[in-house]
Amino acid sequence: GENVEQHPSTLSVQEGDSAVIKCTYSDSASNYFPWYKQELGKGPQLIIDIRSNVGEKKDQRIAVTLNKTAKHFSLHITETQPEDSAVYFCATGNTNAGKSTFGDGTTLTVKP
Amino acid sequence: SAVISQKPSRDICQRGTSLTIQCQVDSQVTMMFWYRQQPGQSLTLIATANQGSEATYESGFVIDKFPISRPNLTFSTLTVSNMSPEDSSIYLCSVRTGLSDEQYFGPGTRLTVT
């Protein structure tokens, strides 16, 4: 089955700096790559996703890049703010399979 | 997108008892999932709830311990049976609308077993 590795497990940055979280996966059939943000006491929230036919996608301060050949994808957050502090999960999915496989999560702390 | 509610939001239960968690979605969805998230851990898929038929369980999870119902396209329940302290966790309902690959999560049910 699919194996998703996420790094780093914790990340601390100063407000205004950039943060990068990386994930690698094993199943070449995966074609959908979402990122979730989970704040304390809440369920995961989908923040951005990318499909296998696209190399990069941006939405304001967040962006995701995908390298299908190398089987890795990354989340980039620029101009970080304290409210970006949360646990971030990457995931992989296959449109036909229906279910997703999640990484272990990255705890991001943005220091004011 | 989809708005998902779960009941109860949290509960403290005694070992040996059972708890049923409800998941309600504001629109019809194609797929519903139940996840477990232990403190500080990632999300582990328990099962896919199938409308009108038995749920599809992942390795390590069995129907006798986690019976699931899905009577229609907007509602599902997960029961945690014969609970032990090891069942203390957050249980999350998740859906796919079928219009895309996007998956949405409910707020979770925080279960503590004493």
Residue A70, number of CB atoms within 10 A of its CB: 8
Higher-pLDDT residue of A52, A98: A52
Please classify residue B81 by burial: count the beta carbons closer than 10 Å to its beta carbon, then call 0-12 exposed, 13-18 middle and 19+ buried: middle
Instruction: Calculate Rg over the CA atoms of chain B.
Output: 13
Residues of chain A above pLDDT 90, percent: 88
Mean pLDDT of the residues in chain B: 94
Q: How far is A29 from chain B (nearest CA, A)?
A: 14
Q: What is the mean pLDDT of residues A48-63?
A: 93
Residues of chain A with Cβ-Cβ distance to B103 below 8 Å are 34, 46, 91, 93, 100
Q: How far is A45 from chain B (nearest CA, A)?
A: 7
